[in-house]
Structure 1
Amino acid sequence: MSDRATPDPPARLTRWEQRTEVPLFAAGLLFLTGYAVRVLTPHEAEPWNDIALILVWSTWLLFLADYLIRLRLSGLGARFVPTHWLDTVVLLLPLLRPLRMVQVYQVVQRRRDRPRLSLYARVISYAGLTAVLLGFAAALAVYHFEHTVPGASIRSFGDAAWWACATLTTVGYGDATPVTFWGRVVAAGLMAGGLALLGAVTGSFSSWLIQVFTREDEKRPPERD
């Protein structure tokens, strides 16, 4: 077989990503489910904790296998890490997998003849879903790190969910704040993600309103003197 019959690494990588992005997103939801069970159920709740632990580790190993396969198919070697920095971060911190929602949506749309939603609706929809999943993951992580620490203001998952909502929307009441190092690291990441998502939604909604008003002005008959 000649070399021309062998597809180049970027083409093979693209096909692999198109085939695996949606299943990996489902695996990410399973990872989040397993982590939620581990965090929210008592340690003596068996066998659910053991099942959740197996689910967390098995899905993470799946993410690792996908990362290594994409690294090989890319043909970039060590350059794959800086050029695909989001993939590297998500592998190390699987709770950030909701940030890959944009790529998942793009893969789904490539399988259709045309997008079913307009550009602005697409931005708002995947940004909203990303915000929900990211906020839930951050609430779980902060509750995990904070609820047993003396002097912590986040004692229940409800407190953590309230804190995540306030942080994502950049309100920040201050009634619930992380006090541990890792809790504050999660908070900093959620603040950055919240600002980015809020900016994307606000900008898209503003652009949509401007287009609507422009069309209305164009349809309006000219005023007579």
Structure 2
Amino acid sequence: MDEENGQLRWHRRTELPLFLASMLYLFCYAVRVLAEGLSEGWRDVLLAVTYALWSLFLIDYLVRWRLSGQGLSYVRRHVMDAIVVLLPLLRPLRVVRIYETVRHRRAHARLTLYARVIAYASMSAVLLGFAGALTVYSAERGAPGATITTFGDSVWWTCSTLTTVGYGDITPVTPMGRTVAVAMMAGGMALLGAVTGSFSSWVIQTFTLDQDREPPGP
């Protein structure tokens, strides 16, 4: 019980600050990738900030691991947390937990279940798409035979990949770019499935309630 209370206290105290730190991490990474005329001095500063922020994420994971008292089984039970530590650009996707943390400080939820799922999936798609576009652009630009030569190309490719359209006019050629592509295809299908499934359930529930309210026929 004490371990669970310790985990809960740590979670509530650190989740929002760490989310803000993850957004700063994403900002620093974006500036390093997109600001081509940036001096080496500023690049070093941004790199130092990203490493410092990553160390915070690692410390948070280790503290959660220690407070859980689960040993190595904690890693198996919290695979996503381990992935987020290894790939900090994905940490903003924990926006779902941020909302839940804030909501528990209030008496009730401001959004219905369906609206929350759609909002979470939409925000996650935007964050995943932006992080993926940055990573692919960083890997592809300057590569031999690359078709993604500008950040605009990367954004266009990201949109077509997340929506599973896949026009094929622009494709990654580097191992890193293709690895990110596979991850974004899987993420895109999951997010679109969450949105369409929630919307369909909401529509069905709405029509069902309307039908139940109708007075019986003569």
Q: TM-score, normalising length from structure 1?
A: 0.92
CA RMSD of aligned residues (A): 1.4
Equivalent residues in 2 for 1:51-70 (5 A)?
A: 51-70=45-64
Task: Provide the C-alpha distance between the structure 1 equivalents of 2:36 and 2:19, rounded to a whole number of angstroms.
Answer: 27
Q: Partner of 2:47: helix, strand, or coil?
A: helix
1:27 alignment partner in structure 2: 21
2:116 alignment partner in structure 1: 122
Task: Provide the C-alpha distance between the structure 1 equivalents of 2:77 and 2:215, rounded to a whole number of angstroms.
Answer: 53
1:111-153 residue CA offsets vs partner (Å, 9 max, x unmatched): 1111000000000111111110110000000000001101111
1:180-201 residue CA offsets vs partner (Å, 9 max, x unmatched): 1111111111111111111111
Which of 127, 133, 136 is matched with 1:133 structurally?
127
Q: Partner of 1:77: helix, strand, or coil?
A: coil
1:45-84 residue CA offsets vs partner (Å, 9 max, x unmatched): 3543233212211110110111111111111122221111
2:43 alignment partner in structure 1: 49
| 2:152 counterpart of 1:158 | yes
2:53 partner letter: T
| 2:93 counterpart of 1:90 | no
Task: Provide the C-alpha distance between the structure 1 equivalents of 2:76 and 2:95, rounded to a whole number of angstroms.
Answer: 20
Higher mean C-alpha displacement, 190-199 vs 99-108: 99-108
1:42 partner letter: E
1:156-179 residue CA offsets vs partner (Å, 9 max, x unmatched): 000111111111111111111111
Higher mean C-alpha displacement, 13-22 vs 95-104: 95-104
Which of 87, 96, 100 is matched with 2:94 structurally?
100
1:217 alignment partner in structure 2: 211
Q: State how many pairs are aligned.
A: 218
The offset of 1:41, in angstroms, is 1.4
Asked if the contact 1:43–1:49 (Cα under 8 Å) also holds between the matched residues in 2, the reply is: no
Task: Provide the C-alpha distance between the structure 2 equivalents of 1:102 and 1:196, rounded to a whole number of angstroms.
Answer: 15
1:136 partner letter: F
1:3 alignment partner in structure 2: none
1:72 alignment partner in structure 2: 66
| 2:170 counterpart of 1:176 | yes
Q: Partner of 2:6: helix, strand, or coil?
A: helix
2:112 partner letter: S
Higher mean C-alpha displacement, 28-37 vs 69-78: 69-78
1:12-37 residue CA offsets vs partner (Å, 9 max, x unmatched): 01211111111111111000000001
Asked if the contact 1:105–1:126 (Cα under 8 Å) also holds between the matched residues in 2, the reply is: no
Asked if the contact 1:60–1:94 (Cα under 8 Å) also holds between the matched residues in 2, the reply is: yes
Identity of aligned residues (%): 57
| 2:15 counterpart of 1:8 | no
Which of 184, 191, 196 is matched with 2:185 structurally?
191
Unaligned runs of 5+ in 1: 1-6
Q: Partner of 2:164: helix, strand, or coil?
A: coil
Task: Provide the C-alpha distance between the structure 1 equivalents of 2:139 and 2:178, rounded to a whole number of angstroms.
Answer: 10
Task: Provide the C-alpha distance between the structure 1 equivalents of 2:91 and 2:186, rounded to a whole number of angstroms.
Answer: 15
Which of 139, 144, 148 is matched with 2:142 structurally?
148
